[in-house]
Structure 1
């Protein structure tokens, strides 16, 4: 089967995830700017999570530009990714509501770690189904970025119990690493 339905469904789920995140931000009472101060941590959490959802949407889009067909295993791998991403509004809200306390920051890191694992599983399932000579296999010769991301998420989770703000900087650093869509895939598309 082709990838079109999977892509459309995934786009819809990601749009709903972003909508849920923004709906979690309650409008404060009061008309002066000081009324916004209590929601600053939630807004910062929202910005980082919005960027993450955008990164996953962008890389998912690029991934499915080189994938020609899907099977049941790929559909389940994609659903696992969407499940992990669907937990981001919860971990984002908890972290922002509790002003980046250690446990919420750790849970956020675990959530990001699981999302990264799920995306790797989706990539590997796609390569397995499409074959060793597929464009995707050629593009993803190494998993250096993925491995570094997992390492930084893991370090962030551990560090959250000592210096939560450093964990947030690590999470933001991984987002910066992935902000530009995966050039490995773009290079393969242009050859």
Structure 2
């Protein structure tokens, strides 16, 4: 019996994902409030109390932004979907939609190992789903666009794996020090920058042949 074709296409799935990301980011900001009717001194105290919430919001906004870019960078290479891609993507989007909950835990109970570990685990799960999406496309050429080589999917896999490694290794660190685990997350910033810088370096046969192609073009088109 022939396999059933998915009822949605790549563009529809990306649009649905964009809506989920937008809602998740909106929910993050709902916790940033101060009571009404405060005096000046009370307002200053309330604003100081908001610092953990602002930190959790900034961190989660950056994480969701990175995950959104990764989601598009993977699925833009897909020509069509299969059941496994849709299932993995639904788990991924469910994790993103639920991210405001661990973000709130982090802002209110950030000094505890449980809240820190739950937040890190959520990021690990989301990154694992991104990696699974990319690996599925890499293993199933029929799902990829005709012009997409397997190496193009390698970069999203490496980026997601790096995030998984940093946040995953922070979970046991929370048992010793939740604060140290949060500083550990900052390793993602220089590591991703180094990875992007290495990816921009011209290497491989295509880069080596570029000067020769340019020289050949100039030779075949001499100045008049």
Q: Distance in 2 between matches of 1:136 and 1:104?
A: 41
Q: Secondary structure of the residue that 2:135 maps to in structure 1?
A: helix
| Runs of at least 5 residues in structure 1 that lack an aligned partner in the other structure | none
**Number of equivalences:** 187
Deviation at 1:64, TM superposition (A): 2.5
Q: Distance in 1 between matches of 2:138 and 2:102?
A: 31
Q: Distance in 2 between matches of 1:15 and 1:157?
A: 28
Do residues 25 (structure 1) and 32 (structure 2) align? yes
Report the TM-score, using the length of structure 2 for normalisation: 0.72
Relative contact order, CA 8 A, sep 6+: which one is greater?
1
Identify if the C-alpha distance between structure 1 residues 72 and 153 changes in structure 2 by more than 3 Å, giving closer, same or farther.
same
Q: Distance in 1 between matches of 2:141 and 2:129?
A: 18
The residue aligned with 2:22 is 15
Deviation at 1:99, TM superposition (A): 3.5
Q: 1:89 pairs with 69, 90, 100, which one?
A: 100
Answer with 1 or 2: which has the greater Rg. 2
**Counterpart contact for 1:22–1:46, Cα < 8 Å:** yes
| Runs of at least 5 residues in structure 2 that lack an aligned partner in the other structure | 1-7, 208-224
Report the TM-score, using the length of structure 1 for normalisation: 0.83
Do residues 117 (structure 1) and 124 (structure 2) align? no
Give the aligned CA root-mean-square deviation in angstroms.
3.0
